[in-house]
Structure formats: C-alpha cells, structure tokens
A and B are shown apart, each in its own frame.
Chain A
C-alpha cells in the first residue's frame, strides 16, 4: 500500500455542477490568494443550520454558495400519510417563530376544496392571531438584527417584549409556540374571558417596544453606518429571484398579498397601510419591518373593536373527508409569501401537499447578493434577510 496519494487528475468542472462540488473544490483547488471559509452549519449568525461556503480574497467575498438541507425533515412526505388535523399540527413547525401563520393557508385551501366558509368571528380571530404572530416574529427580528451587527442588548429587549405576545397566544390556544388552533371550518375553541383587554394592554407594550428599538438601534449612527447601502436588492432582481415579503417591499415594490392578492381572512374589512422603502439596503429592511410591527399592532386594535359575536365553528361532519380536487392557497406570512398546493383524492388526509416557503426563495438570492462584500457585511445581510431554517428546509 503506497503511503503517498496518487496525483489528482485535471478536473474539468462543469459550471452547472459547481453547487454540488462545493466540497470537492476545497480539496482539489488550492488557489493562492483565495481562502475558502465555511460559515458552517453551526454558526451564531446563520439562524440555524445554514452552511455558507464563501471564497474570500482577504476580507472580500469572491463567491458565496449556500448549502441547505441540514434541517430537512421531510414535510411533504409526512403529509402524505396523515389526516388534516395531524397535518395542521405538523405544519406549525415549519416557521416556528410565527407558527399560527403557517396553518392559515393550509386550512384555507382545505376549506375552499370543501366549499365551506368559516364564520366571521372565526375569521376575525384568525386574523388577530396571525397579526400577533407577525408582531412576535418581528420583535425578535428587531432584536436579533442588532445582535448580528454587534449590539448585545436589543436581543434581550426583543425576547422580553415578545413574552407578552406569547402569553396572549398561550392564553387563547394553549401553546406558546405551536398553537395548533385552526380546524377545518373554524377554530378549535373560543377566546377566554378577559383576553380582549389583555391584548389591548399588550399592544401598548408593542408600541413602546417599537419606539425603544427605533431609538436604540435604528437611530444609532453606528448601526446606520453598518447597514446603509449594504446588500442592495434592486426590485427587478428581487422579483426575478422570487424574494417576497418585507424584503421586496424594502426595495420599493408595493406588493402585499393581504391587499393585492385574493382576499382572505378578515383583511378586506380593515384599513391598513403597506410600508415600502425606496433604498433596498439592509437598513430599509429593518425599517420596513419596524413599521410593519406598528401597523400590525394597529390592525389588531381595529380588529378587536370590530370583533363580531357568534359561533366559532361552521357545520362540518364528524369525520372530515375533503372532496377531490387541487388548489393553491397563498398568504402573506411574516417571512414572505407562503403557499400550499393541496391535491386531495377524497380521503381523510391530503394526497400531496407542496409547500412553497418564503425563505427558500429569499435565500436563493444570496450568491448574487454576496459578491464583493466584506465578511462583516455578509453577517449583516444574512440578518436583514431574516430567514428561518425550518422554512428553507422544511
């Protein structure tokens, strides 16, 4: 057995295979001057198990390659063998920070296939809980974006203020993170006594928290120096890559499914403003999400004032069999545009569910976006795009 390795053959690397050979290139090419750095699956900045293979020249990024799949849980396969209530439980865990919002498009799809409509009170409460999830996840974003650029304190304020929202969700649904509250035809249960007043008080805390973040982070000159003109996404590039949600609105594209798409839940009945920012840099994404948090709090207060009384659940049979058909339902989730394509063959569970998650498309822009930036800016951009690994990998 020889103790030296045979010489490596000359590899002609087909550019289409580049993504798959990210590992091989570490061994094959030992370029002078370029360093390959693995912002590996375990890293505080990557929000989970995202691996980013960057090729550096000093501190400048020459190319960046995200490698995803470290958290793939096989959702679409799991849904093939489960009934609708079981699937509802599972899909809570796709985007775990705003879990109520994940259930809504799926239940919407099933209800459309069955041809039933949830009663107005259920629609309103669903909207309120969706907006509460939006506030919860954005409060976390406002805090952790500060953490990505180096400030330690905003992260704790984010978690502290989020507790109020989580307590509200727990009081109504029983679970802080995974509410599992939607059912085909309505909601599982009605709100407990005193919930409306508690929510009104909590919204006041949300407004105060947004003001704190505006002063502590957005107004900080160092933060502005770190985030202005970093990671600019031009609107055409953003739409062609499928970026959605606040990221796209921060580039100036005025598109919000709550207002512009097919009407769903109780959104047609309240007024709200869609916030955009012309710049498209990381600071714009932070600013847009800050304003959207305030807007969501205002929407919740409007909804609470208009909450109709009545029943919570429409008339549905005991064993629910959704008739045959295919349907696509999408909603404006906090992370972006989330959609489900549900194919039903008349059984108690779906035949096939295709999940279009927002972060998957948001992350696809990274190789284009990260060329030529510094290493600290990579972290800022990753933080400002705000993806959740469970959403990317499902």
Chain B
C-alpha cells in the first residue's frame, strides 16, 4: 500500500496502535453523540452543555479521567483475580473484532477470508467476561444479572448468525472486503446507479441483525442483565473506577463494531458505488468518512430503539429468540438460497 517498504514488525506496531486508539475513540464518539446528546433531545432536555464550553464535548473525556483516578475497590468476598480479569476479557473481545473491519480499499488490519465468521465468533467471547464479572462479585444482584446475560447472549448468537448467512450466500464470499466490493460493483436489474447494497434484498436479514445485535449489546429492549431499575447495573454493579471504564468502553466499542459490521454487510461499507467512478486513491481518503457516516446512521437506529422501548422480561426475551427470530432467519436463508440458484 505504501510507497516505502517497512518491515512487518513496524506494520504490526502501527496497526496495533491504530486499533488501540480507535476503539476508545469510537466508544467516546458514540457515547457522546447518542447517549448524551441524542438521548437528551429525545427526552426534551439538553444534555451536557458546560464541560469544554461548546455543548459539553469534554464531558466523557472528563468522566474517563475521573474514573481513572478513583480508588480501586474490590468487595471483600470477591474472587480477586477473576474480578480483575473480567473487564479485560470483555474489552479484548472488542479489540479483536476491529481487526477485520475494512475502512478503505487497503485500510484493514487483516482481511481474513473468513472475516464474517471470525468477527461473530470473537464477539461472543464477551459472554465469558460477563459471567466472570457476575460470579466473582459476590453479590446476589450481580449474579442474577450475569446468569440472565449468559442465557440471553447465547440465545441471540443464533439469529445474528442466521441473518448474516443470507448476506454471505448472496455475496458469495465471507471476507468483508469481498462483500463490500460485491455491493459496490453489482447492479440492480442492470441499473448500477447506487451499486447493490444488500439491504435491498436482505431487509429481513438487516432487521434481524439489528435486533440480535441490540440483544448482544444488552441494550433495551433486551437489557435484562443490566436492568437499571431492578438490578442497578446488574453484573457491573460492584465495579468502580477504571474497571467500570473498561466495561463502558467495551459496551460502546462493541456497539461501534456491530454498527460497523452491519454497515459493511448491508449498506456497502466504505465503498461508494463503482459506477460513480471514484479512483482508488481518492477512496483511500473518503472510505473511512463514508464508513463513519453509515456507522452513525445504523447506530442512530439502534439507540433510537434503546431510548424508546421498555424492556422485555427474560422469558419473553428467550421466547422471542427461539420461537420467532430463528425460524424467520432460517426461512430467510431458504429464500435467499432458492432465489440465488434460480437467478
């Protein structure tokens, strides 16, 4: 990609650094825009206005600094090592997802051939972190939250997967770069004005993916594990200071990652339609911007639903996943496969 030849060690270092910086920044931007500002305006109020002067942009950064300097409290009866390691597991799984998300023609850490499979597999590692956090906290509320989370996160892995299979069948490849180029280079019945974003035929898959990722992120209407008015932060209740900061970054970083994946799979990712004739060099600059805009759009949908709906009870949640979403996902795959072979 670059004109000069730098060794693989330096490339690795640069890529690691970029990912390490990207995840908290993405979490911050998402958190500020949606959690603080959009939520406030939906509730007819203003959100932070003073920190930093202009509409309170410094609020989350200030919160981060505040969290870092807090005392590191561990409950007396907690399992110390597990308690300390749990947030790290959640955050590590977030970082790992970002490895395959492409932001431009060559801007990707590693374009794996099984990109989609890898991304979904690695994002389920956070379940272990949640369970560790809940059990090691020595708190009954945390335990309740963790057990609910385990059941819920495992149940909603399946609709997530099934929604994506339809995309893979239609695009013909599991690598994310391949899916992006399939969307920008194809055409709809011969008209290639906007390429062929897969959301047009995979509407069901898109909705299913959004619902399932909402549940994977434990956001309302699926936030039983973190039910604020019952369990007051559920499995995270005993965490303070920078450990809570890790959970926060994990939650919003994963939201960023899922929004990026759904933008890539369904909306065309970083690419603008190939028929617009933009050169690869220009796309190297525009790509991240286009992806960012699409991420913001998808994230707006996710957070809009989060702020409006009450939460489902645990058994209703499970019934929704097993009796409703999975059959729809299977039917979607069947339909996609049949139509793909026919046309």
Q: What residues make up the interface of A, taking CB atoms closer than 8 Å to B?
A: 35, 37, 43-45, 59, 146-153, 156-157, 160, 216-217, 220, 222-223, 225-226, 374-377, 379
> When the two chains form their complex, are residues A376 and B314 in contact, meaning their CB atoms are under 8 A apart?
yes
- Chain A residues near B227: list those with CB within 8 A: 150, 376, 379
Partner of A220 from B39, B224, B310 at Cβ < 8 Å: B310
Interface residue ranges of B210-256 to A (CB < 8 Å):
220-221, 223-224, 227-230, 232
- Chain A residues near B223: list those with CB within 8 A: 150
Interface residue ranges of B117-166 to A (CB < 8 Å):
140-141, 144
> When the two chains form their complex, are residues A153 and B313 in contact, meaning their CB atoms are under 8 A apart?
no
- The CA of A160 and the CA of B43, in the complex, are separated in Å by 9
A interface footprint on B47-81 (CB within 8 Å = 1, 0 otherwise): 00000000000000000000000000000000000
B315 touches A (CB below 8 Å): yes
> When the two chains form their complex, are residues B43 and A153 in contact, meaning their CB atoms are under 8 A apart?
yes
> When the two chains form their complex, are residues B39 and A152 in contact, meaning their CB atoms are under 8 A apart?
yes
- Chain A residues near B307: list those with CB within 8 A: 152-153
- Chain B residues near A150: list those with CB within 8 A: 220-221, 223, 227-229, 309-311
> When the two chains form their complex, are residues B221 and A376 in contact, meaning their CB atoms are under 8 A apart?
no
> When the two chains form their complex, are residues A226 and B310 in contact, meaning their CB atoms are under 8 A apart?
yes
B278 touches A (CB below 8 Å): no
Main SS of the interface on chain B? loop
- The CA of A45 and the CA of B230, in the complex, are separated in Å by 6
In this complex, what residue of A is CB-closest to B228?
Answer: A44
B45 touches A (CB below 8 Å): yes
Main SS of the interface on chain A? helix
Partner of A222 from B224, B232, B311, B315 at Cβ < 8 Å: B311
Cβ contacts A to B, 28 pairs, < 8 Å: A35-B140, A37-B141, A37-B144, A44-B232, A149-B310, A150-B221, A150-B310, A150-B311, A151-B308, A151-B309, A151-B311, A152-B43, A156-B45, A157-B43, A157-B44, A220-B310, A222-B221, A222-B309, A222-B312, A226-B310, A226-B311, A226-B312, A374-B314, A375-B144, A375-B230, A376-B313, A379-B227, A379-B230
- The CA of A35 and the CA of B228, in the complex, are separated in Å by 21
Most interface-central of B144, B228, B229, B311 (chain A CB within 10 A):
B229
In this complex, what residue of B is CB-closest to A376?
Answer: B313
Task: Please give the distance in Å from A152's CB to the nearest CB on chain B.
Answer: 6
- Chain B residues near A225: list those with CB within 8 A: 312-313, 316
Task: Please give the distance in Å from B174's CB to the nearest CB on chain A.
Answer: 34
In this complex, what residue of B is CB-closest to A383?
Answer: B229
Whether A44 contacts B229 in the complex (CB less than 8 A), given A35-B140, A37-B140, comes out as yes
Partner of B144 from A59, A151, A160 at Cβ < 8 Å: A59
- Chain B residues near A220: list those with CB within 8 A: 309-310
> When the two chains form their complex, are residues A374 and B315 in contact, meaning their CB atoms are under 8 A apart?
yes
Task: Please give the distance in Å from B151's CB to the nearest CB on chain A.
Answer: 10
> When the two chains form their complex, are residues B230 and A376 in contact, meaning their CB atoms are under 8 A apart?
yes
- The CA of A223 and the CA of B308, in the complex, are separated in Å by 11
> When the two chains form their complex, are residues B313 and A151 in contact, meaning their CB atoms are under 8 A apart?
no
Task: Please give the distance in Å from A116's CB to the nearest CB on chain B.
Answer: 46
- Chain B residues near A45: list those with CB within 8 A: 229-230
B331 touches A (CB below 8 Å): no
> When the two chains form their complex, are residues B313 and A377 in contact, meaning their CB atoms are under 8 A apart?
yes
B169 touches A (CB below 8 Å): no
In this complex, what residue of B is CB-closest to A45?
Answer: B229
B22 touches A (CB below 8 Å): no
- The CA of A304 and the CA of B144, in the complex, are separated in Å by 53
B42 touches A (CB below 8 Å): yes
Most interface-central of A216, A217, A226 (chain B CB within 10 A):
A226
